Structure formats: C-alpha cells, structure tokens
C-alpha cells in the first residue's frame, strides 16, 4: 500500500506554477511531470469494485468480492498524528442494489473489546437487529460511517454501529430521518473485530463519486480516515469513495465520458461549441499522455490519474454545460 502523501493542497499547484511565469511552450511538458509532483499531495480515496456476487452480511469477511477490491488502512489519530497502533482496514464493493463495506479492527488485547461488548449488553440488553434511539446507543467499541451520496458536499448520513451489534443513525443530524433497515453484522475473530454493512444504493455505476469518512471509537474516540478538526460532520471535507476499480473508473470518466463528449460537441454546427470542444480536446490530450505512461493498473498510477483528472475536470464540466444548453436550444 502506498505511503500517505503530505497534506498540501493540489489546487495550489497551478498557483505555484503561474508564479514562475514560464513560457507557454513549456506548459505541456510540465503537465507530463505532474505525476512525480502529485504523489506528495493529500489524497483520501478508496475504490469500490463491482461484486459479481454480493457478500453475505455475516461479519466473516470470507466472500470472494473482498479479495477482489482494494483495501485502505491509512487512518490517523483523532488529533491528526500519523501513527495509530491499532490498525483499521476498510474495503468497499457494489452491485445493482447496494454499496457494501467491510471493516477489520485490530486489537493488541482483544479482552479489552470483549469487556466493552459485555458492558454494552449489561446496560442495554442483547441487540435486536433494529435501529436503536441515540439515547440507548453506546458510542464506544464501534464505528461512525459518514456517507454523502453523489458527493453533494451538503447531504450526508451518519451511521453508527458497535461491536455489540447496536446501530443507529441520522440524516444531517436529524435522528428521526434515519428510518431504513440496514444490514449490519459483526464478529470477534482472534485479535480482530470484523464487520460487514450494506447501504441501499440503486443505480450505482463506474465513475460515480460519493463523500465518505470513517471514525473508529474504542474506549474513546481513537482514529479517523480523513482527518477533520472540530466537528466530524463536515461533508465538504470528507474523503472520496470512487465507484469502480481503477480501470473501470478511468474508462468511465475519460475513455467514455470525456472523449465521447468532446467528439459529440466537436461535431456541432455551433461555432462557439465546436471551438470549446477543440480547446478541451487539447487539454485532454495532455491527460491522455499521462494515462499512456501510467496505466490504471496500480494504486500509484490511479493516484496520478485521479489528481490529473480532477485538475482537468473543470474543462469537461464547462463543455458539458455548453453542450446541454445548445442541445436544449435545438442546435445540432
């Protein structure tokens, strides 16, 4: 697994380049050098591969799909420190109906967790596999999952569950808005607490992006995936869940989405739209050259392409808006 990059802003890269006022002729060559520079930037993204067969939600994590998707364990402490002794591993897959998560929480002394589970059962009784009110939920020895469908940066769900199989949640801090029955199951195996969770999500397709963050709570708040200072429920600061494997994501956003839209817009009789398509295509060619040098078959190459695509994305978004406006006006 690749080392966690530094936290400098990727968006600041363009600003730094402009300061040097380099001749325009050198810019394409600088774009090709981006991969070596971008690996030093912050990135919290996990890819969810498509599951040929959905996992059985039993907490065992023995389904084939979990071995065919990537795992991430790049959690940091609540204070932001890089070193966290207790390892947390997350994975995600999807199908036509759901988004599935698996979790592995390592413990140096599993008896601490077992005593914590028993204390929850002693206080609230055994789990009944139903949503519990927040007043009856023990937010210890478990996880908080923050999910922002389609990366809206405003609408999010917070789902909480613990090793005693309690679960609850809210929509934008409104606890009465969380009413769906979600499949969740966990187990203690050796020095691990393992869990599986199914989030209802129809119509997912490769190339989609969701906001995501995860907080691990042990005896107290212990670790989180995308570090956020202050309140955790800040969807603009969540990490990203990318739908599709590295290869499937690239095909969806670039080989199909970008290339196809440039071709359609470039064939328009509208001079302004076709000119915009040509300009976008020139920038896309630089990104395509990066892809030729960095095939999306490894995490390192995926990070390079992900950064490059999101630097480029404002161009295709601009073309997309212009294309849809012209289409609504009936311009071929």
The DSSP letter of residue 21 is T
pLDDT at 36: 37
Report CA dihedral (71, 226, 258, 281) to the nearest 10 degrees. Answer: -120
Higher pLDDT, 332 or 169: 169
- CATH topology for 45-243 is Immunoglobulin-like (2.60.40)
Is residue 17 within a helix (H) or strand (E), and if so which, with residue range?
A: helix 11-19
113-151 pLDDT, tens digit each:
999 999 999 999 999 888 999 999 999 999 999 999 999
> What does the alpha-carbon distance between residue 70 and residue 274 come to, in Å, rounded to a whole number?
40
87-115 pLDDT, tens digit each:
999 999 999 999 999 999 999 999 999 99
Helices 271-293 and 299-328 pack at an angle, to 10 degrees, of: 170
> What does the alpha-carbon distance between residue 101 and residue 49 come to, in Å, rounded to a whole number?
11
Q: What's the half-sphere exposure (Cβ side, CA atoms, 13 Å) at 170? A: 10
37-62 pLDDT, tens digit each:
333 336 899 999 999 999 999 999 99
pLDDT at 332: 63
The DSSP letter of residue 41 is S
pLDDT at 163: 98
273-316 pLDDT, tens digit each:
999 999 999 999 999 999 999 999 999 999 999 999 999 999 99
- Which residues lie closer than 8 Å to 237 by C-beta, 6 or more apart? 213, 226, 228
Q: What's the half-sphere exposure (Cβ side, CA atoms, 13 Å) at 72? A: 25
Is residue 14 within a helix (H) or strand (E), and if so which, with residue range?
A: helix 11-19
pLDDT at 42: 62
> What does the alpha-carbon distance between residue 276 and residue 260 come to, in Å, rounded to a whole number?
14
Domain boundaries of the chain, sorted by first residue: 11-42+246-328, 45-243
Is pLDDT above 90 for 63? yes
> What does the alpha-carbon distance between residue 230 and residue 328 come to, in Å, rounded to a whole number?
44
């Amino acid at each position: 697994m690749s080392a966690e990059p530094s936290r400098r802003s990727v968006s600041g890269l363009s600003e730094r380049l402009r300061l040097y006022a380099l001749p325009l002729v050198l810019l394409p060559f600088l774009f090709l050098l981006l991969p070596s520079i971008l690996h030093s930037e912050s990135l919290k993204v996990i890819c969810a591969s498509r599951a040929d067969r959905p996992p059985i939600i039993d907490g065992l994590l023995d389904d084939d799909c979990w071995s065919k998707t990537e795992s991430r364990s790049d959690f940091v402490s609540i204070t932001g420190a890089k070193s966290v002794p207790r390892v947390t591993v997350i994975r995600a897959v999807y199908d036509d109906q759901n988004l599935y998560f698996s979790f592995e929480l390592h413990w140096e002394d599993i008896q601490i967790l077992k005593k914590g589970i028993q204390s929850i059962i002693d206080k609230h009784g055994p789990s009944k596999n139903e949503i519990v009110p927040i007043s009856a939920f023990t937010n210890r020895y478990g996880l908080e999952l923050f999910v922002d469908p389609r990366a809206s940066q405003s609408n999010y769900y917070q789902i909480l569950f613990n090793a005693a199989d309690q679960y609850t949640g809210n929509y934008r801090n409104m606890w009465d808005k969380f009413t769906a029955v979600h499949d969740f199951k966990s187990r203690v195996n050796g020095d691990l607490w393992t869990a599986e969770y199914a989030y209802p999500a129809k119509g997912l397709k490769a190339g989609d992006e969701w906001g995501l963050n995860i907080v691990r709570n042990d005896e107290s708040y212990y670790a989180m995936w995308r570090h956020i200072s202050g309140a955790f429920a800040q969807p603009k600061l969540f990490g990203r869940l990318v739908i599709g494997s590295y290869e499937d994501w690239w095909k969806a956003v670039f080989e199909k989405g970008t290339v196809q839209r440039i071709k359609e817009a470039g064939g328009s009789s509208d001079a302004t739209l076709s000119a915009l398509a040509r300009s976008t295509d020139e920038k896309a060619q630089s990104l395509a050259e990066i892809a030729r040098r960095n095939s999306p078959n490894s995490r390192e190459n995926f990070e390079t392409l992900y950064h490059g695509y999101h630097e480029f994305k404002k161009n295709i978004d601009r073309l997309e808006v212009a294309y849809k406006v012209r289409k609504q006006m009936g311009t071929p």
